[in-house]
């Protein structure tokens, strides 16, 4: 489980550029137009052996300046609630603005570590100008230039110093199943139906669940914690930021879980927001089950409706399509226990360990019949393979030239693994190692 770091600040101070640098990938779109970051921005980073998750809150808001200010306040409040450490970014070119002062006012009340990063400091003159940021009352600051990375090392050193201590290993704890999805898809109703009591208030207003709540649950002789994350607080009625709130809420629940039960509304489909949550779970190597709720509301069903619907979801999930999809109706209590039974099965798949000898007996003949393609006239020979001792399925294949094995061949190995051993609902990692 990694700590969560949120990057906050007014538009166009360089939050996305810093985010890209931290996660070492160009995931956020960087553009000089303020407020370009539309997508949710979440990634993994590590420094000095400490792993943490980074959330870029940039540009989830559009509209006039006054709307901007209200929205940025909301984002900062949410980051204060959800994150463990906050990086507050300001821009030396424009100096201290009214909006910076508003954000600083919110951050001064916080009991969590706040690191003030003054961006665009790429010469001595600007380093001198940065002194004015002491006026924000947040103590010392870090001067950085997120475009070329100068100063980010010192910022990260300070960041890992203040990260919360790692939590002890949860081996003795019960497995955790997180119920996630966009607002109003039926997450709370699903948990109510399972436990047979109205533990959660269920209303038609999207986003009435404020926090994720754990419920111990026992069925099929299997005990686990159900985590409800119905992701959004009431105050966020603005369209643009719905996604930001639900993702921010889901991140922690997903990271803390073993299996993610993603509930979607059949009448809305596997839309962008649900896909974001799916990829979040996949990137965190969690078990995944997709529940299509409100199936009773879909009109004009024909013999192949389920088949076509499933096909559309699988196309959107490519290349990771080995995921169970259960069609249900919480209201009519149709197939809700099937949903949990499937989640238990996925949990078992994620914990599956294959004996090395059996693994080699199955995989080596397949590799011999279909070896990796030669690269630059060189032939790759895979001699041995084994499952790594990690909490989720990772496999190492030992060969003479690991650098010449391309992604398509790794996908071939993953497909063969899935054909021969049951890893439905679980992301798999395949590594090539030098023999």
Q: Is 43 one of the annotated binding-site residues?
A: no
* Residue 268 among known ligand-binding residues: no
Ligand-binding annotation for 374, yes or no, is no
11 is in an annotated binding site: yes
217, β-bridge pairs: 224
Q: Is the CA virtual torsion 331, 333, 337, 339 positive or negative?
A: negative
Q: Is 113 annotated as a binding residue?
A: no
User: Does the annotation place 60 within a ligand binding site?
Assistant: yes
Tell me whether residue 119 is annotated as binding: yes
Say if residue 274 carries a ligand binding annotation: no
Full DSSP string of 264-325 = EETTT-S-HHHHHHHHHHHHTT-EEEEEEE-GGG--S--TTHHHHHHHHHHHHHTT-----E
Return the HEC string of 48-101. Answer: CCEEEEEEECCCCCCCCHHHHHHHHHHHHHHHHHHCCEEEEEEECCCCCCHHHH
Q: Tell whether residue 9 is among the known ligand binding residues.
A: yes
Q: Is 230 annotated in some ligand binding site? A: yes
* 168 is an annotated ligand-binding site residue: no
Helix or strand or coil: residue 109? coil
Report whether 433 belongs to an annotated binding site: no
Instruction: Provide the b/e sequence for 323-354 (b: ≥16 CB within 10 Å).
Output: bbbbbbbbeeebbbeebbebbbbbbbbbeeeb
Q: Is 57 annotated in some ligand binding site? A: yes
58 is in an annotated binding site: yes
> How far apart, in whole angstroms, are the C-alpha atoms of residue 242 and residue 237?
7
Please report, in angstroms and rounded to a whole number, the separation of the first and last CA atoms in the chain.
32
Is 300 annotated to bind ligand?
Answer: no
* Residue 118 burial (CB count, 10 A): 26
122 is in an annotated binding site: yes
338 marked as binding residue: no
Q: Are 191 and 240 in contact (CB under 8 A)?
A: no
User: Any binding-site annotation on 296?
Assistant: yes
193 is in an annotated binding site: no
Q: DSSP letter at 256?
A: T
185 belongs to an annotated ligand binding site: yes
Q: Is 41 helix (H, G, I), strand (E, B) or coil?
A: coil
104 marked as binding residue: no
Q: Is 169 a known ligand-binding residue? A: no
Q: 123 labelled as ligand-binding? A: no
Sequence-distant (6+) residues with CB within 8 A of 425 are 259, 287, 288, 289, 322, 323, 324, 342, 345, 346, 349, 350
Residue 8 backbone dihedrals phi, psi, to 5 degrees? -120, 165
Specify the DSSP class assigned to residue 371.
P
Judged by DSSP in three states, 351 sits in coil
12 assigned ligand-binding residue: yes
> Of all helices (H) and strands (E), which one includes residue 433?
strand 429-434
232 is known to lie in a ligand binding site: yes
**Among residues 343, 352, 347, which one has the least CA distance to residue 418?**
352
Is 109 assigned to a binding site? no
Instruction: Tell me whether residue 304 is annotated as binding.
Output: no
Give the separation between CA 224 and CA 259, rounded to whole angstroms: 11
Q: Is 407 annotated as a binding residue?
A: no
Does the annotation place 16 within a ligand binding site?
yes
Please check if 139 is assigned to a binding site: no
Query: How far are the Cα atoms of 52, 134, 301, 302, 318 from residue 305, in angstroms, in the given order?
Result: 42, 62, 6, 5, 20
Q: Which residues are annotated as a binding site for GTP?
A: 9-16, 56-60, 119-122, 181-188, 228-232, 293-296
Output the known binding site: 9-16, 56-60, 119-122, 181-188, 228-232, 293-296
């Amino acid at each position: 489980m990694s700590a969560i770091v949120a990057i906050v600040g007014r538009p166009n101070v360089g939050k996305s550029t810093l985010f890209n640098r931290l996660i070492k990938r160009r995931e956020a779109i960087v553009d000089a137009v303020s407020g370009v970051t539309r997508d949710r921005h979440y990634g993994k980073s590590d420094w000095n052996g400490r792993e943490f998750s980074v959330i870029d809150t940039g540009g989830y808001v559009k509209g006039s300046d006054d709307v901007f200010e209200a929205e940025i306040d909301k984002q900062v409040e949410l980051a204060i609630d959800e994150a463990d450490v906050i990086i507050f970014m300001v821009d030396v070119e424009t100096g201290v603005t009214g909006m910076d002062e508003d954000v600083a006012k919110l951050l001064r009340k916080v009991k969590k570590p706040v690191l003030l990063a003054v961006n665009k400091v790429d010469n001595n003159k600007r380093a001198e100008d940065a002194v004015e940021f002491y006026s924000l009352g947040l103590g010392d600051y870090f001067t950085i230039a997120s475009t070329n990375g100068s100063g980010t090392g010192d910022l990260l050193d300070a960041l890992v110093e203040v990260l919360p201590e790692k939590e002890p290993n949860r081996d003795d704890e019960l497995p955790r199943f997180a119920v996630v999805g966009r607002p109003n898809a039926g997450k709370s109703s699903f948990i109510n139906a399972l436990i047979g009591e109205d533990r959660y208030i269920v209303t038609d207003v999207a986003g009435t669940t404020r926090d994720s709540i754990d419920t111990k649950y026992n069925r099929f002789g299997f005990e686990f914690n159900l985590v409800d994350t119905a992701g959004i607080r009431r105050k966020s009625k603005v369209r643009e930021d719905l996604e930001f709130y639900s993702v921010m809420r889901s991140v922690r629940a997903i990271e803390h879980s073993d299996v993610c039960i993603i509930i979607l509304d059949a009448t809305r489909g596997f839309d962008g927001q649900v896909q974001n949550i799916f990829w979040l779970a996949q990137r965190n190597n969690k078990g995944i089950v997709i529940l299509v709720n409100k199936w009773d509301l879909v009109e004009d069903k024909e013999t192949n409706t389920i088949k076509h619907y499933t096909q559309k979801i699988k196309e959107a999930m490519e290349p990771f399509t080995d995921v169970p999809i259960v069609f249900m109706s919480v209201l009519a209590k149709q197939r809700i226990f099937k949903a949990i039974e499937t989640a238990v099965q996925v949990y078992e798949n994620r914990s599956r360990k294959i004996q090395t000898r059996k693994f080699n007996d199955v995989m080596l003949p397949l590799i011999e019949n279909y070896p990796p393609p030669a690269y630059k006239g060189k032939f790759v020979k895979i001699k041995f393979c084994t499952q790594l001792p990690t909490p989720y399925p990772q496999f190492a294949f030992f060969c003479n030239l690991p650098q010449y094995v391309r992604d398509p061949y790794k996908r071939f190995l993953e497909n063969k693994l899935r054909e021969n051993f049951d890893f439905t609902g679980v992301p798999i990692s395949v590594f090539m190692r030098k023999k």
